[in-house]
Structure 1
Amino acid sequence: MGKHILVIAQYFYPEQFRINDICTEWVKRGYKVTVITGIPNYPQGKYFDGYGIFKKRKEVFNGIEIIRIPLIPRGNSSIMLALNYLSFVMSGFVWNVFTKIKADYVFIFEVSPMTQALPGVWYARKRRIPCYLYVQDLWPENVEIITGISNKYIIGGIGKLVDYIYARCTRIFTTSKSFVESINKRGVSNEIIEYWPQYAEDFYRPLKKARKKEIPSDDAFNIIFAGNIGNAQGLDILPKVATMIKKNQIKRKIRFNVVGDGRYKKALIEIVKTNNLEDLFNFIPKQPAHKIPEFMAACDAAFLCLIKNPLFAMTIPAKLQSYMACGMPIIASAEGETNKIINESKAGVVSPSGNVEELYKVITEISSKKDEELKMMGQESRSYSDKHFNKEKLLTRMDEFFTDDLDLEGKKIV
């Protein structure tokens, strides 16, 4: 058995995050992998069927040993979300005191909250082993945007917590180049910060165009959005664009196929109904990740958007890699890193975040393109994915970091 990686991830299988695939690949590469995670409850806010405080607290998935520590489900309120974050840390502290696990590395998969990194940091310091942090969401910036909290004392306190975590990491990996600069500004040396973009799982691949029963069979230009339907996605822009489409009666029917679940879904459906836009929308329940390429193959283009904010201009949403791996033409309402990648790859059309008129224009533009032009966009999309988000190359690079961070005698660094 190879080296032992202890992964700290508040969200893990059956919740759908990229860390599931990363851990699976590590097992294939000969590592022993143990994951410390919570009881699955994302994004619905309640425990998944079959899971609970006294049910399935230990599990094996694809050769990965999963240990689930107690936590309070997210629910649907800010108070419940705060308790969810806090409970994971408290359970992680208790686990750290009593655990007998002996790992060689700690790898922390950080999507919000950053607080989930604490049990990993504590364990790594206790065992004097390398600690790796993979930053998906920047804190405290993310807290300000999502919660609206701007009190300087609260944000300052969170900032000190973040600095505490950064200072105790051997290396910090980021999903975008802009994150490298932001973390460096907090006093972290560039020598330990690495850009390591996300990749798409192997099942994300181009499929032959095919009908899907959940998507009406007509001559509409089908646009798919697949993923979490949350506030940060800025999906409130779609009903506004749909209103313009309906008002201007553009030649080709447009349909937005929204696949997924999340805290904002109920509100979005209500807005669509209130504005009599049901004929332009098709809401599809959350699907297993491996099924998403089939839905993409039944559509003409894929959509992603982020709210207008300096932080999201630095962010590369995970669905961008998924869309590109499937060879989809992309429509985006985004800025910064995402805008740059789509324009550089020639994989689609982009409008500024939150700009309804410009999004209407690019949707009108792409929906009027010939099939050959759309096919070319899709090919450029896949080609860029193969070149810049290649799974094997990225994982091999991570192997090299693991090797470099143990000295020649195999002793763990401190």
Structure 2
Amino acid sequence: MKKHILVISQYFFPEQFRINDMCEEWISRGYKVTVVTGIPNYPIGKFFSGYGVFKKNKEHYKGIDIVRLPIIPRGNNPLMLVLNYFSFIVSGFFWQLFTKIKADQVFIFEVSPMTQALPGVWYAKKYHLPCFLYVQDLWPENVEIITGIKNKKIIDSIGKMVDYIYKNSTKIFTTSQSFKKSIQNRHVPIEKIEYWPQYAEEFYQPLKVKEVTRNSIRNNFDIVFAGNIGNAQGLDILPKTAEILKQYNNTKKIMFNIIGDGRYKETLIKTVNSYNVGEMFNFIDKQPAEKIPEFMAVNDAAFICLTNSPLFKMTIPAKLQSYMACGISIIASAGGETSQIIEDAYAGLTAPPGDEHKLAEIILKMADKTEKEILVLGKNARTYSDLYFSKTILMDQMEEHFENKKDSEEFYNV
């Protein structure tokens, strides 16, 4: 009989995160899966319709048992965000004291905040279970960059918490090679850390244009961005870039199609208007993830953007795998591993993060390519995805760890 996996993730369905698909895959492979999560409120900052502190505390979704802990929604300011993070810890602490759930192992899906890992670590220690940690956001580095907090006492306190989580994890998986080095620098044994990149769900596939409806977003050279519109994405570079592009009498009109929602969206819209480039932007409401390939099929290139910081040079955003799986050419304002993958795959063009002049230059260069050349870049992206980001191969690797007695016993030697 397969094991019972307890998944700790502050975000879960109906919020759109890759852990949703991972849990469905484990169910299809015969595992029992229980997810301990929060009340859905990402990225809009308020509880989704039908959910609340006293609503849908327990759900059953596609064979997955879901336990929702009471939390404070993210809101739209830093104080609410801190309360959101803290409330999950408090609820998680009391949950692990009184829960009757009996799992065989713990899997923690760690996107910010790292604090969400604590209930999983506590539960694993209490029952002497293997604890697998999947790191997608580095702390305390992420806190310093996103919040601007530089107070040494605060950062050191967060660092101690992070070290406690690493120490009490059986195995640590990372979404980039650079993350491995950073975690190792916190005195974590290298053999405890493994690079395990994200994959794209199977519905991310190249679609022929005739399979989808050409609609209003198609306008000469169309660039699409799909995902969370937050501060970390650095999308403020686009209005600046658009202003530069307006100065050129290029034959193709450049259009930025921004799909999604997030804390920065309203600010971005205001910034676009202040630069007087509104005619170059099309803001589209957040879409179900399953519909994103349709938008990819009617755009010429997909856009990835990260702010200019040492942390984001080490980060590979999940949308990179989604874009590549859809077989679309990529334009990136990013450095580090993200730009390296795009260049290695011959899948698009990259500009240094924060450099709107270079970004404008590569957009014009891409727009001047023939349709055949752009299609080749997209095919290269899909080929690379099949080789290095295969869902089947990666999930097989993870299952080997789940079934590996040595990995399970390592917990007791921590």
User: Which TM class, normalised by the smaller chain length?
Assistant: over 0.9
Bigger drift between 380-389 and 239-248 goes to 239-248
- Shift of the alpha carbon at 1:275? 2.1
Could you tell me which amino acid in structure 2 is paired with residue 30 of structure 1? G
Whole-Å Cα distance in 1 between the matches of residues 402 and 196 of structure 2?
A: 14
Whole-Å Cα distance in 2 between the matches of residues 344 and 70 of structure 1?
A: 45
- Shift of the alpha carbon at 1:278? 1.4
2:161 maps to 161
2:273 maps to 273
2:193 maps to 193
2:292 maps to 292
2:246 maps to 246
Q: Residue by residue, what CA displacement relative to the aligned partner does 1:269-303 show, whole Å, maximum 9, x if unpaired? A: 01112222111000000000000000111101000
Whole-Å Cα distance in 2 between the matches of residues 9 and 259 of structure 1?
A: 25
1:394 maps to 394
Cα distance change, pair 285–212 in 1 and its aligned pair in 2 (3 A): farther
1:373 maps to 373
3-state DSSP of counterpart to 1:365: helix
Could you tell me which amino acid in structure 1 is paired with residue 258 of structure 2? V
1:83 maps to 83
1:207 maps to 207
Could you tell me which amino acid in structure 2 is paired with residue 311 of structure 1? L
Whole-Å Cα distance in 2 between the matches of residues 123 and 357 of structure 1?
A: 50
1:72 maps to 72
1:306 aligns to 2:302 (yes or no): no
3-state DSSP of counterpart to 1:39: coil
Bigger drift between 254-263 and 242-251 goes to 242-251
1:174 aligns to 2:167 (yes or no): no
Could you tell me which amino acid in structure 2 is paired with residue 142 of structure 1? N
- Shift of the alpha carbon at 1:199? 0.1
Whole-Å Cα distance in 1 between the matches of residues 410 and 225 of structure 2?
A: 45
1:230 aligns to 2:225 (yes or no): no
1:347 maps to 347
Whole-Å Cα distance in 2 between the matches of residues 186 and 250 of structure 1?
A: 50
Whole-Å Cα distance in 1 between the matches of residues 406 and 215 of structure 2?
A: 51
2:46 maps to 46
Whole-Å Cα distance in 2 between the matches of residues 332 and 257 of structure 1?
A: 15
3-state DSSP of counterpart to 2:169: coil
3-state DSSP of counterpart to 2:246: helix
Whole-Å Cα distance in 2 between the matches of residues 400 and 255 of structure 1?
A: 45
Could you tell me which amino acid in structure 1 is paired with residue 216 of structure 2? I
- Can you give the 5+ residue segments of structure 2 that lack an aligned partner in the other structure? none
Could you tell me which amino acid in structure 2 is paired with residue 98 of structure 1? F
2:107 maps to 107
- Shift of the alpha carbon at 1:217? 4.4
- Shift of the alpha carbon at 1:405? 3.5
Whole-Å Cα distance in 2 between the matches of residues 411 and 3 of structure 1?
A: 15
- Shift of the alpha carbon at 1:248? 1.9
Bigger drift between 142-151 and 244-253 goes to 244-253
1:363 maps to 363
Task: Tell me if the contact between 2:108 and 2:133 (Cα under 8 Å) persists in the aligned partners.
Answer: yes
Whole-Å Cα distance in 2 between the matches of residues 212 and 133 of structure 1?
A: 41
Runs of 4+, deviation exceeding 4 Å: 210-214, 410-413
3-state DSSP of counterpart to 2:270: helix
Cα distance change, pair 233–413 in 1 and its aligned pair in 2 (3 A): closer
Q: Residue by residue, what CA displacement relative to the aligned partner does 1:306-326 show, whole Å, maximum 9, x if unpaired? A: 000010000000000000000
Q: Residue by residue, what CA displacement relative to the aligned partner does 1:122-178 show, whole Å, maximum 9, x if unpaired? A: 000001010010000000000000000001111011001100110000000000000
Number of residues paired by the alignment?
411
- Shift of the alpha carbon at 1:2? 1.6
Task: Tell me if the contact between 1:8 and 1:116 (Cα under 8 Å) persists in the aligned partners.
Answer: yes
Could you tell me which amino acid in structure 2 is paired with residue 80 of structure 1? M
Q: Residue by residue, what CA displacement relative to the aligned partner does 1:223-264 show, whole Å, maximum 9, x if unpaired? A: 000000000000000000100111223221000000000011
Cα distance change, pair 202–103 in 1 and its aligned pair in 2 (3 A): same
Could you tell me which amino acid in structure 2 is paired with residue 222 of structure 1? D
Cα distance change, pair 412–65 in 1 and its aligned pair in 2 (3 A): farther
Bigger drift between 304-313 and 248-257 goes to 248-257
Task: Tell me if the contact between 2:7 and 2:108 (Cα under 8 Å) persists in the aligned partners.
Answer: yes
Task: Tell me if the contact between 1:212 and 1:295 (Cα under 8 Å) persists in the aligned partners.
Answer: no
Could you tell me which amino acid in structure 1 is paired with residue 336 of structure 2? G
Whole-Å Cα distance in 2 between the matches of residues 292 and 216 of structure 1?
A: 13
1:333 maps to 333
- Can you give the 5+ residue segments of structure 1 that lack an aligned partner in the other structure? none
Could you tell me which amino acid in structure 2 is paired with residue 113 of structure 1? P
Q: When the two structures are superposed, what TM-score results if normalisation uses the length of structure 1? A: 0.97
3-state DSSP of counterpart to 2:65: strand
- Shift of the alpha carbon at 1:188? 0.2
3-state DSSP of counterpart to 2:46: coil
Whole-Å Cα distance in 2 between the matches of residues 114 and 155 of structure 1?
A: 13
Task: Tell me if the contact between 2:302 and 2:330 (Cα under 8 Å) persists in the aligned partners.
Answer: yes
Equivalent positions of 1:94-173 (< 5 A) are 94-173=94-173
1:29 maps to 29
Bigger drift between 1-10 and 38-47 goes to 1-10
Alignment RMSD: 1.3
3-state DSSP of counterpart to 1:207: coil
Task: Tell me if the contact between 2:218 and 2:299 (Cα under 8 Å) persists in the aligned partners.
Answer: no
